[in-house]
Structure 1
Amino acid sequence: MSITAPAQGYSYARPSGLSDGRLGLSTSGGRTAAGPAARPHFFSGVVTRPAPAAAALLAVADVATTRYHRPGGTSRDPVVTCNGDRLRLEAFSGCGGVYARLDLLAGALDGDVHDLGTTNVDVNPPLRTALARVGAGDPLHFAVGADELVVTTGDGAAVEKKVLLPDRWLRGFAEVQVITAGFDPRAELRGPEAVRFVRSLRSGGAPWFVPAGRTLRPSARPVPGAVCAAAPERLRTMLPLLRFATALRAYGPPAPDGPAASVWELELPGMRYVLALSPEIHRGFSGEGAVLDALSADDTADDADLVGALLAFEPRLDTDVLAERSGLPAARVRAALTCLGTAGRVGFDAAEAAYFHRELPYDGARVTALNPRLRAARELAGTVRRAADGTALVPGSEREHRVRGSSCTCSWWTRHGGGRGPCKHVLAVRIAGEAR
């Protein structure tokens, strides 16, 4: 049975616009600290560094309109979260293999926070053209949501958009959060070295880079300390931002032995522009399977409800504090945060090594239910039996598979090993074990 992607409706009171130094981002339905809101009003004030802010906002919008693998498809509006001391704008590429985020920190904003929460913002073609013209000396009044600064463009009519949100795009938000939470800093390039490195990236270039003095040199294999940047041309969305950059930082897993995801953070005045790249250009984040271990536990959903009730759009979530307030062990809090991530309620900031709270405007229960490996594992859990040697036997389509620890004899495990999360047979054994 095929499942069609849901249509996400965006309803804006008027188009976003930029005129006479006033930038107004129109908001759609979302959630605030007080609950659901039709068109939240989060911030009004001044952007203290208008040129890099405009260029970085445009870069996030560019990712949302791009498919790096098999170009084409529908663009989607970025998500904005107000965490009080910052604004975060996030987007996924149409192919699901690149995640982009702009953090406008306190040093880039001077104004009033009117509410906390998350919603979509309208970034339309005329606004993109206007953002590209913002110069360093241009004053930029900034409003997220309706107030006196919001610019009415055209005839001021309401804007209705409907786009298809593929399930893999939605699941990608959860996978990025889990995968990047295990990353370590790998390299930092300052000023000119950062500029030279990004400008040197070419399509088809080496997928690995190793710290070498003040820069990164390409490598054909994952030597110790290397960071992966498969299809490194995907980082070239940073090119328009290089004239403002003060540093470039790379994050990756501790000991990769094959293609791996990575995070690249461009430090700008008072803000950060972040890109997460999937392990390969044809691999979206949605199929990485990093969330499956946490979601397979019986108590995770209940723990997620408990931890979720404690969230209040904090810019940094402290797992120890959440453990103390919830009465749960830290490991169960982390699993609960993973579950909340599948509902779009939690992200991860590699720069601060901390989770943050947001609320994406889609049904997280649908995302969990549509995870094919988890769904199949739950169906298989009742058929698991134990062999005399202590291994587990799980029926397959043609033969029985043997599970030992986290490995399996199935063809999926033979192809991917542990690189894309557990197979359905390993998950079924874990679920069956918890049910006993």
Structure 2
Amino acid sequence: MSTEEQAPDVRTQVTQRYQAPSQAADAVVRLVSDLQRAPVRVDGRIKQPIPFREALSVLHDIVQSDLRYKPKDRSVYVAFQRMRKRSVGMAQLQAQQAYFDWLSRNDPLAWFVLDPVVTVHPDGILFEVFSKDEGTYAQLRIGREALDVSGEWVCGTTNVDFSDALNQGVQKLRSYRSTRLTIGPEAVGLQTDGDSLVEKKIQVPDTWLRGFLQVQSSATLARAALRLSPIELYNVLYQLRMNADQKRQGRAIRCELVPGEPPRLVLEPWEWLLDTTAGPYQGKKPEVIRIWGRRRWMLLQRFLPFVDDVELHLIGSGLPSFLVMRAGPLSFTLGLTGFTAANWSRSLQFDTLLPRPGGSSALQEQVIGKLKERWATDWTELAQEIGAAPAEVLSVLQAAGQNGLVMFDLAAGKVRLRPLTVEPIDPARLEFRNDRERQAHDLQRAGNIVITKEEVIHGTGIALVAKAKVPAEKREYRPSFLLDDEGRVRKAECTCHHHRTHGLKEGPCAHLMALRLAHAELLAERARQGGGAIVTETRTYARRTPEGEAVTQISLDKRQLKVRWGMRTDARLRVQNLWFDHVDDAREAYLGRLERLEATGWLDATAT
């Protein structure tokens, strides 16, 4: 197959059937579950209706959130004009139905809200949702102690009807009225007739399904955790609410982490500093981690007044982050991807951190069998019971998570059984986003992508040039791009037909993606060798001073060593150039400077 073909928009049809719509009326929240799934049942009185109301409201807001950039699309307007012209003389209901028919064909996610996945376990109820823009994952856990259970408690996983009408009814819950929660396939207490069956057929993009599973599975990769007090999170949201983002300026939150010291949060570009007070950082390595997607934290405003403590779990700069909030028997986990669909460089780098989805294995079947017995457990205890290596069990659980079999509960520190769909998910469909990405991995695995030039452009990033051989086409292409200090690709070029015709409007070509994968593999190999093979590299370090944040950037470019230092707010940094007779001498001086910086309290602020 040619590497220039455009991949189709692959979708998975999801059919959900409910006996009746869910309702919140007469102080009873009735969540009707999918008739096609194994029945789950919950019946009990909610002890604290207000936190429950606000948590469900936040879930609803996240499901409908779409923060993607929306450029003007004249084709939609032209289609609307044509439809309006054809609808002249039609009845209003017919015209409305024609519009919805068009909308369901062109943008099904704009019409249907994908219903939450609800998992009932012996210790509580868990709701999971994923936003339409594939940028926000949310998990709400309602502990069993939050309810006075009076009826059956049947464990399992299902979907529940979660419509706008239900959300409007939830807003009417009050603390002075006793409120009951029921979950089950039967519409208990609802006035229904034979025609009340609700059926939804949704064409879910495979990219959405893949993102949901991948972001949820990445919770196992969190390597840094810091505690915040609720008022500190409120201060961050207040700063964001009172200040608009600035074009071509930083939009990240910098987390400055020093073992034994309280973590510090810095909001760019204002350099607003927040010294946290909830406790010292318990990690082992000092570093600076930058996270994106901070505006999505604003979705949590309604739930924040009830929160007792907050934890922020980090994987790395530009990678997914998880905000865990606990409010008595309720816990709310917000996961942010840290990148958009346009940032294909970061998404490819993230792919390299998780095992590729694959078929079942004997160990995976053994792990799933144990989870079926107890529903939820700590994965380290599971490894001890099975007698397998913890790293091996974790890898199996990560693959099972991407196959939709399990979920990870950061708030409780457990892995839980959660079959996402009725029919098993085909791992081959979700292994890659499109055919071009599949071809990129094939090129990289076959060794047909070779980096021929790696040049440090000081203050800008690293320029990479490669040769990509495509045996099927008997041709050789020259992909190249500039990778900035934040891991984003700038000025991408390729000699293939796809890039010459579309540029990046239709996404990167397979050769550019293969180059990004090859560079990630090169960096990982250098890290394993402990710096012995480094020829070109740039590291950035930061340290907090009374005057502000001081930064030092050290770049190794073969025999040249360049040092830049100053305050982060300075328009220009001071520069020192050093030349050596041999590459080994330059590398030794480079590594020595890094060791001295780390020994004197400087934090590694390099984008990972």
52-61 or 169-178, larger mean C-alpha shift: 169-178
Quote how far apart the aligned CAs of 1:327 are. Answer: 4.5
State how far apart, in whole Å, the 2-side matches of 1:349 and 1:95 are: 23
**Residue number among 384, 404, 410 corresponding to 1:344 in the alignment:** 404
Q: What is the match of residue 407 of structure 1?
A: none
What amino acid is aligned across from residue 513 of structure 2 in structure 1? W
- Match for residue 252 of structure 2? 207
The alignment of Structure 1 onto Structure 2 pairs a total of residues equal to 399
SS at match of 1:179: helix
Equivalence for 1:372: 432
Which structure 1 residue ranges, 5 or more long, are not aligned? 32-36, 388-392, 402-409, 427-436
The CA distance in 2 between the partners of 1:284 and 1:48, in whole Å, is 44
Give the superposition deviation at 1:295. Answer: 4.4
Rounded Cα–Cα distance in structure 2 between residues aligned with 1:376 and 1:352: 39
Residue 4 of structure 1: aligned partner: 10
| Residue 171 of structure 2: aligned partner | 132
Range with bigger deviation, 274-283 or 60-69: 274-283
Q: Give the equivalent residue in structure 2 for 1:57.
A: 56
Deviation readout 1:148-179 (Å, 9 max, x if unpaired): 85544799811111212111111123312332
Q: Does 1:41 align with 2:40?
A: yes
8 Å CA contact 1:263–1:274 kept in 2: the answer is yes
For 1:390-417, what per-residue CA distance to the aligned partner results, in whole angstroms no more than 9, with x for missing partners?
xxx997432699xxxxxxxx64365477
Matched, 1:198 2:223: no
- What SS does structure 2 have at the residue aligned with 1:310? helix
Q: Which structure 2 residues correspond to residues 265-414 of structure 1 after superposition, within 5 A?
A: 265-282=324-341, 287=347, 290=350, 295=355, 301-312=361-372, 314=374, 316-361=376-421, 363-372=423-432, 375-376=438-439, 396-397=469-470, 398=476, 411-412=512-513, 414=515
For 1:274 and 1:151, how far apart are their aligned partners in 2?
Answer: 32
Which letter does structure 2 place at the counterpart of 1:208? I
Task: Assess if the C-alpha contact under 8 Å between 1:175 and 1:288 holds in 2.
Answer: no
Match of 2:267 among 209, 218, 222: 218
Task: Give the Cα–Cα distance (whole angstroms) in 2 for the partners of residues 186 and 378 of structure 1.
Answer: 32
TM-score by length of 1: 0.78
Matches within 5 A, 1:68-107: 68-70=67-69, 73-74=110-111, 75-107=113-145
Is 2:226 the counterpart of 1:170? no
Flag the structure with more relative contact order, 1 or 2, with Cα contacts below 8 A and sequence separation at least 6. Answer: 1
Letter in 2 for 1:60: L
Shift of 1:62: 1.8
- CA distance in structure 2 between the aligned counterparts of 1:207 and 1:145, rounded to whole angstroms: 43
Residues 154 and 363 of structure 1, relative CA distance in 2, 3 Å threshold: closer
The Cα of 1:251 is off from its aligned counterpart by: 1.1
Pick aligned residue for 1:189 from 218, 221, 228: 228
Alignment partner of 2:302: what SS? helix
Tell me what 2:181 maps to.
142
Residues 394 and 317 of structure 1, relative CA distance in 2, 3 Å threshold: farther
Question: Percent identical across equivalent pairs?
Answer: 22
- Does the 8 Å CA contact 1:262/1:278 hold for their aligned counterparts? yes
Instruction: Write the letter of the residue equivalent to 1:242.
Output: L
SS of aligned partner of 1:267? strand
Secondary structure (helix, strand or coil) at the match of 1:43 reads: strand
User: Cα RMSD (Å) of the superposition?
Assistant: 3.9
Comparing 244-253 and 197-206, the one that deviates more:
197-206
Superposition TM-score, scaled by structure 2 size:
0.57
**Stretch deviating more after TM superposition (18-27 or 137-146):** 137-146
Mean CA deviation greater in 133-142 or 5-14: 133-142
1:51 deviates by 1.0
Aligned to 2:574: none
Return the match for 1:246 from 303, 308, 311.
Answer: 308
Displacement, 1:338? Answer: 1.6
SS in 2 for 1:336: helix
What corresponds to 1:406 in structure 2? none
2:550 counterpart residue number: none
- Which structure has the bigger radius of gyration? 2
Aligned to 2:29: 23
Conserved in 1, the CA contact under 8 Å of 2:358 and 2:427?
no
Aligned to 2:320: 261
How far is 1:27 from its partner?
0.4
Deviation string for 1:79-123 (max 9, x for gaps)? Answer: 100111110000000111110111101332221552111111111
State the AA in 1 paired with 2:147: L
Task: Provide closer, same or farther for how the CA distance between residues 29 and 225 of structure 1 changes in structure 2, counting only shifts above 3 A.
Answer: farther
Other-structure match for 1:231: 293
Correspondence 1:66 to 2:103:
no
Q: Residue 182 of structure 2: SS of its match in structure 1?
A: strand
* Contact persistence 1:17–1:150 (CA under 8 A): no
Question: Is 2:163 aligned against 1:114?
Answer: no
The verdict on how the C-alpha distance between 1:283 and 1:364 changes in structure 2, with shifts beyond 3 A counting, is farther
Does the 8 Å CA contact 1:294/1:336 hold for their aligned counterparts? Answer: no
1:122 alignment partner, SS class: coil
Bigger shift: 67-76 or 279-288?
279-288
**Could you tell me whether the CA contact under 8 Å between 1:30 and 1:118 is conserved in 2?**
no
Give 2:534's aligned residue.
none
Q: Which amino acid aligns with 2:255?
A: V
Decide whether aligned partners of structure 1 residues 318 and 200 sit closer, same or farther in structure 2, where only a CA change above 3 A counts: same
Q: Deviations over 1:48-101 (max 9, x none)?
A: 111111211121122112222146724211110011111000000011111011
User: Relative to 1, partners in 2 of residues 1:178 and 1:41: Cα closer, same or farther, differing over 3 Å?
Assistant: closer
Indicate if the aligned counterparts of 1:191 and 1:246 stay in contact, CA closer than 8 A: yes
